Amino acid sequence: MNTIPHWINGRAVPGSDTAPVFNPATGAEQARVVLGGPADVDTAVAAASAAFETWSESSLSRRVQVMFAFRQLLADHEEELGRIISAEHGKTVDDARGEIVRGREVVEFACGLGDVLKGGFSDQVSRGVDVHDFRQPLGVVAGITPFNFPAMVPLWMHPIAIATGNTFLLKPSERDPSAANFVAQLYRRAGLPDGVFNVVHGGKPAVDAILTHPGISAVSFVGSTPIAKYVHEQATSHGKRVQALGGAKNHAVVLPDADLAYAADHITAGAYGSAGERCMAVSVAVAVGSAADGLVDVLERKAREVKVGPGDAPGTEMGPLVTKAARERVENAVGTAAAQGATVVVDGRGLKVDGHEEGFFTGPSLLDHVTAEMDAYREELFGPVLAVVRVDTLDQAIDLINANPYGNGTALFTGSGEAARRFQRNVHVGMIGVNVPVPVPMSYYSFGGWKDSLIGDSPIHGPEGVRFYTRPKVVTTRWPQQAQHVTAGFDFPTSS
């Protein structure tokens, strides 16, 4: 059986402890992944620290050239990487290719950092005195990433970190680890020096070693809110910068003037795509007023039409969940919702796929008459369950969203510009879509929610990513003529 190693200083590094990697479509163990700890993190940080000495001094042109080459290799190997992701995560190959494309957009943003990194200059701020500023890399930085986007989420981090002159240590999810090693090899082929990008696999011991290691300057994290809070607390207490993106409960509000077929079509895709294992998945449809009955009718029909099967099978729209435990948790949540008074319109529990009876499949579930007090509304289910909440007005929908502890993404379906403007100004959410169900911003904007969806104040990629991975210096200069004597003063300097 294949064993997936660490990638440190440009080579595969074995380990003694391992954990299984499953094929979610069959339920079978298909590989083992090594589990690292403090010693492996030490080794990777030492390699990254040594590489930083030269990489941080390389020209911006050189760094951007590597990014251009890396971007082309990602495009050339999109199909291969997509199939690697599908086999370990369970999502469809097309969905996996989609995440690679969205991640590649961040690489393209990194290719243009020459303009973003330009500093400012102020001439003659005082007689014979000029001021300019520039940004420098931090050093060794790390990323701790989730299973649901094994390519895209790390690509939100390391291209910007590396292009700005840092070296990087990635700790991917041990559930689908192969994408990280594949990307590491693409970086090497792109001309990235050994030690600039490293991968250490593992669980909590590896995470804790990263959070406390004195040689790591910053940590980026995407995952559940409880772990995001833990990462933020531990890493900041050890003097590190932290990006910590947490969980979500994303609402899609449908007004009576919306095109119900259009809204239901996009909400269905947003709820059940990738089996709902997305931090930007639509998990709550808020039906306003007279839109409710018609919306539920169309959602029911579309949920029953979703084609569930192995991720590599032609025509599959939704694959299995990532683990057996994830399937059990989601199906238990549907049962709890029914017990608490929700109407189970479509019940996806107990689905069996011919030829893949041991796979971790569940079908799309649709719940109606859900209230804010029910577990199906309060908890992040991270599965193919869509809850419908009925309200009378748009203002009630806004109040519902604002009372929720999460504030990652939300959407409004309407034909009214006034309603859309009122919604986007008053809702307490970081990323908003108008007639767009999954409003993931482009790479030249930054990704991040509000409230419990973002711990701290550092969103990811885009301009905020550049600021996160660099720190500014401001230089005040005077070049007096050699024949001219400038008297030193003990008073606080002024601009006169």
What are the counts of helices (DSSP H) followed by strands (DSSP E) for the chain? 17, 23
User: Of 89, 85, 117, which Cα lies nearest the Cα of 103?
Assistant: 85
* Marked catalytic residue, from 8, 210, 260, 279: 279
Question: How far from each other are the two terminal CA atoms of the chain, in whole angstroms?
Answer: 74
Taking the C-alpha atoms of residue 445 and residue 119, their distance in angstroms, rounded to an integer, is 19
Taking the C-alpha atoms of residue 402 and residue 396, their distance in angstroms, rounded to an integer, is 10
Taking the C-alpha atoms of residue 290 and residue 287, their distance in angstroms, rounded to an integer, is 8
Which CA distances in Å does 342 have to 33, 87, 267, 334, 339?
A: 41, 35, 19, 9, 7
Residue 372 near residue 389, CB atoms below 8 Å: yes
**Catalytic site includes residue 111:** no
Taking the C-alpha atoms of residue 416 and residue 435, their distance in angstroms, rounded to an integer, is 11
Cα 277 to the chain's mean position, in Å?
12
Within a 13 Å sphere around the CA of 98, how many CA atoms are in the beta-carbon half? 9
N residues, the chain: 496
Enzyme catalytic residues? 279
